[in-house]
A and B are shown apart, each in its own frame.
Chain A
């Protein structure tokens, strides 16, 4: 009876898979059990209770309020947000720069093409950590101390503590101005979508809306108060500041990754057969339309999968931040918190899980888009 069922290849396949799964689970259980037992026998604290305890240290830059009395859990959030910020900004800048350079490499202009090639070959062949130190220390040394700041119209200040910008402060007028602009824009969209009245009337409505938006914008600017940075004691207070660590990290990550993206873009553009471009030009399409309708859609299909890899690399490379004191996840959580609590296993597990989650999210998003543009059928 059993022998007869075992003869069924489908059942046998399920059985093997169940066995393999059980073995993996069993191995996992042993690893976890053994870890806990070993930590206990060595008198090393374990568990995740430390996340609620008060951290007692400060952080250079955080997107959410963080003070010495905040918890280790909040320190984790600060690090996570800083990592996400630098990765997101890096991805946007690297993509923009990478596309420009990738296209420039194919330029018929000899100088432009060679400059782009030189950029790619230099940047991608120097270790990222060295580039990071270059941007950080080279830029830091070149900048003046706070008292000798580069002063732009008394509004923007640049020194070796960072770039200080004024921030607008909203008032009641700002809210009303925003409401007016919003209403005018809505009317404009509605007029375009539903097409009521005569064309002449529509034209007048459109003109009125533009005028309203323009006036609203003027009012908006006038209504804003400005929180200006000013020198107080050791440094500037007020306004917003970009710390040099952040700038160096974003610049290093985006210029480095851009060199790889440029190659991806070049490969994608070159993958479109020359014959198609010639055919499309022969059909009378302009160069612009040829690019937009024939070349780019096909090139994107080739570009996307390797582009995803570059985004993942950039996100993971952002952990080099710890070398130049940018308070990212690895620096704040995997560094300071790990050391204060001594709970290396828990902290590293959480950190790895976060990078895995971020990477999977990026891969998932990019995969979705890739499926949407992928070639279907034959």
Chain B
């Protein structure tokens, strides 16, 4: 029974805060001595983090955790995934059950000082959207006055939707479920006129519906949803690693370093930026408490950001989501990582 388990989980966490010592060991050391990275992911969101029938996880968020494992432990497969509901995710990170939360989570102001988290960056620029059944004949979100909306509990979705309808002087009935599987099932069963979540989520949930082609995703985006991985506050060393692993994946794409050419580039490249990124020049890995081949391992074992996007969300995936805002800044997108130098 998931509710019982969730409650137990939260209670256990509360108990943890009650008895745990104030000082906690540095996360980097903990991960190294444990031999694997504890990564919090979703309960199954195709393209971001979902398990296949053999229990192997894949997705953009999963690739990020694999990249950290490659950088820190030398092996991208040394990750243990903890599927978390929207409700459990922050408590799991706060209590130290996971080292990093990489679970399509929106970066907001209240989540940093309020929850004691730090976001390493943005891995996917998203926005909240709507999906409706074609037969309803709605072309725009502005026509949704009086609609019933299915969504997940404890998400920014709930708040954005309330704001949107209030701002446009429209009424709606929210039906909120704890798990997205039930949300989708209820929407599919006709309980709601509209299903709302981050637009990327709509694309990935749509393939779970009985007749995906009968549903359309409305053009409006009603919110800013910068999704990113987060870590606990108070461990700057670990935060640096979390942040620079993401930047390294972006920089690698920008400099044209891919999983196929990385071995050749590390030996032959004359480009000083590439040489610094791949550790052929300078001591940039040592700054982070890692060795100099950290980026080489990330790119070789996981790929650069573009490769991961393409494989999980883009044209080489089932979802076929446009890169849009998630293109590199050099191609008109928002993805912009500071240089390694």
Task: Please tell me which one of the listed residues B3, B86, B136, B161 contacts residue A323 in the complex, with CB atoms under 8 A apart.
Answer: B3
Task: Please tell me which one of the listed residues B87, B190, B193 contacts residue A335 in the complex, with CB atoms under 8 A apart.
Answer: B87
- CB contacts (< 8 Å) of A245 on chain B: these are 175
Task: Please tell me which one of the listed residues B7, B22, B115, B159 contacts residue A334 in the complex, with CB atoms under 8 A apart.
Answer: B7
- CB contacts (< 8 Å) of B153 on chain A: these are 322, 325, 331, 335-336, 339
Say if the beta carbon of A244 comes within 8 Å of chain B.
yes
Q: What's the count of A-B pairs with C-beta under 8 Å?
A: 169
Cβ contact within 8 Å between B94 and A44: yes
- CB contacts (< 8 Å) of A59 on chain B: these are 174
Interface residues of B in 221-251 (CB under 8 A from A): 232-234
Say if the beta carbon of B145 comes within 8 Å of chain A.
yes
Cβ contact within 8 Å between B148 and A161: yes
Say if the beta carbon of B332 comes within 8 Å of chain A.
no
| Chain B, residue nearest A38 (CB) | B17
- Between-chain CB contacts (< 8 Å), 24 pairs: A38-B20, A42-B233, A58-B161, A68-B166, A140-B189, A143-B190, A145-B190, A232-B146, A234-B144, A234-B146, A235-B193, A237-B146, A320-B3, A323-B2, A325-B153, A335-B153, A339-B90, A340-B154, A340-B159, A341-B114, A344-B10, A344-B90, A344-B94, A348-B10
State how many residues of chain B have any CB contact under 8 Å with chain A.
Answer: 58
| Chain A, residue nearest B173 (CB) | A60
Q: With A35-B18, A56-B162, A340-B154 as given contacts, are A323 and B234 in contact (CB-CB < 8 Å)?
A: no
Task: Please tell me which one of the listed residues B7, B154, B155, B191 contacts residue A161 in the complex, with CB atoms under 8 A apart.
Answer: B191
Known pairs A244-B191, A344-B90; list 19 more (Cβ under 8 Å).
A35-B17, A38-B18, A45-B114, A56-B159, A59-B174, A136-B186, A140-B186, A140-B189, A140-B190, A160-B189, A235-B148, A324-B177, A325-B182, A327-B176, A336-B153, A336-B176, A339-B90, A341-B114, A342-B114
Cβ contact within 8 Å between A335 and B18: no
CA of A58 to CA of B156, assembled, Å: 13
CB distance from B313 to the nearest CB of A (A): 25
The majority secondary structure among interface residues of chain A is helix
Interface residues of B in 128-187 (CB under 8 A from A): 136, 144-148, 150, 153-155, 158-159, 161-163, 166, 172-179, 182, 185-186
Interface residues of A in 211-239 (CB under 8 A from B): 232-235, 237
CA of A244 to CA of B185, assembled, Å: 14
Most chain A C-beta atoms within 10 Å of own C-beta, residue among B11, B147, B153, B163: B153
- CB contacts (< 8 Å) of A374 on chain B: these are none
Interface residues of A in 129-178 (CB under 8 A from B): 129, 136-137, 140-141, 143, 145, 160-161
Interface residues of A in 31-76 (CB under 8 A from B): 31-32, 34-35, 37-39, 41-45, 56-60, 68
CA of A54 to CA of B22, assembled, Å: 32
Chain B proximity mask over A98-109: 1 for CB below 8 Å, otherwise 0: 000000000000
CA of A59 to CA of B159, assembled, Å: 11
Say if the beta carbon of B43 comes within 8 Å of chain A.
no
Cβ contact within 8 Å between B174 and A342: no
Say if the beta carbon of B259 comes within 8 Å of chain A.
no
Cβ contact within 8 Å between B10 and A43: no
- CB contacts (< 8 Å) of B172 on chain A: these are 58
Residues of chain A having any CB pair with chain B under 8 Å: 31-32, 34-35, 37-39, 41-45, 56-60, 68, 127-129, 136-137, 140-141, 143, 145, 160-161, 232-235, 237, 244-245, 319-320, 322-325, 327, 330-331, 334-336, 338-342, 344-345, 348-349, 352
Cβ contact within 8 Å between A57 and B158: yes
Residues of chain B having any CB pair with chain A under 8 Å: 1-3, 7, 10-11, 13-14, 17-20, 22, 86-87, 90-91, 94, 110-111, 113-116, 136, 144-148, 150, 153-155, 158-159, 161-163, 166, 172-179, 182, 185-186, 189-191, 193, 232-234
Q: With A38-B20, A57-B162, A140-B191 as given contacts, are A345 and B14 in contact (CB-CB < 8 Å)?
A: yes
| Chain A, residue nearest B113 (CB) | A43
Task: Please tell me which one of the listed residues A60, A141, A143, A352 contacts residue B175 in the complex, with CB atoms under 8 A apart.
Answer: A60
Task: Please tell me which one of the listed residues A31, A128, A234 contacts residue B193 in the complex, with CB atoms under 8 A apart.
Answer: A234
| Chain B, residue nearest A316 (CB) | B4
Task: Please tell me which one of the listed residues A31, A233, A319 contacts residue B146 in the complex, with CB atoms under 8 A apart.
Answer: A233
CA of A340 to CA of B185, assembled, Å: 24
| Chain A, residue nearest B145 (CB) | A233
CB distance from A251 to the nearest CB of B (A): 16
Cβ contact within 8 Å between B19 and A34: yes
| Minimum-distance CB pairs A-B, first 10 | A339-B154, A43-B116, A233-B146, A44-B116, A342-B115, A42-B116, A335-B153, A140-B189, A31-B18, A58-B174
CA of A284 to CA of B12, assembled, Å: 63
